[in-house]
A = this chain, B = another copy of it.
Amino acid sequence: MTGLAASIERRNGVSLWRQIADRILQAIANGDFAENAALPPEMALAERYGVNRHTVRSAIAALVQEGVLKAEQGRGTFVLSRKRLSYPIGARTRFSTGLQGQTTERHIALLSSSTEPASRRIAEALGIARGAAVIRLETRGEADGHPVSRATTWFDAKRFAGIETAMAETGSITASLKRFGINDYLRQSTVLSARHADADDLAALDLQPGAIVLVTMSVNVTLDGQPIQFAESRFSAERVELRLSAND
């Protein structure tokens, strides 16, 4: 709400430069800076946060490294990257259609797949016996070549044998399910949480350590309520916001 303001805490296990970098990222994501706009000078930021100029420089260096900012000696420091993508969540959520108008190209890349026995949680969600075989897909959602989400998805192995091939070929869950005779489906429930990104998230989403991910756990069902898919998706909180609409 207040842009670059909001204060900084000491001795909490998070370094000052990391906290300041987070605040700047937040401000950019909130749209407080236009693209190519100049950041306030280092001395001004140092004063605002009550830290040394070198500490601010560490924060800026990290963001330059990340490709978010560009510093020019004598001129100033400039914002390169854009606002957050707004990702809709609702009963009819689809990865590719959701981002229409915000990006031009999007697809889902299959990173790996395996078959494993269902844990209790997954068995419950899919309505199958605990320990029954499930197919696990590790995927990454990409828009305009940039990673947007990282998901782990489980399907009943009996009903959806070979879905990993369909995913690899089509790059789309919706298209893959069509091959199994499912022409429409709904998102039954979603549980939302947030945490620090782990090593896998960092690599897959091209994040800097310390980044935050939004986590959704969802169940998709056929129109008559039969569960078909359980998924845990991770989104970069810096790059994505989730939007819930009433009419969806």
A residues in contact (CB < 8 Å) with B: 1, 6-9, 11-15, 17-19, 21-22, 26, 29, 62, 84, 86, 89, 91, 152, 186-196, 198-200, 202, 208-210, 212-214, 232, 237, 241-246
Contact = CB atoms under 8 A, between A and B. Distances in A.
Nearest to A91: B246
Contact of A243 (B11, B189, B210, B243): B189
Q: How many copies does the complex hold?
A: 2
A14 B12 CA distance: 9
B22 A191 contact: no
16 contacts: A8-B199, A11-B209, A12-B208, A12-B210, A13-B14, A13-B18, A13-B209, A22-B195, A189-B243, A191-B241, A191-B243, A192-B242, A193-B214, A194-B212, A195-B237, A196-B212
A22 B196 contact: yes
Contact of A212 (B62, B191, B195, B202): B195
A194 B194 contact: yes
A192 B9 contact: no
A192 B22 contact: no
A210 B13 contact: yes
A244 B241 contact: no
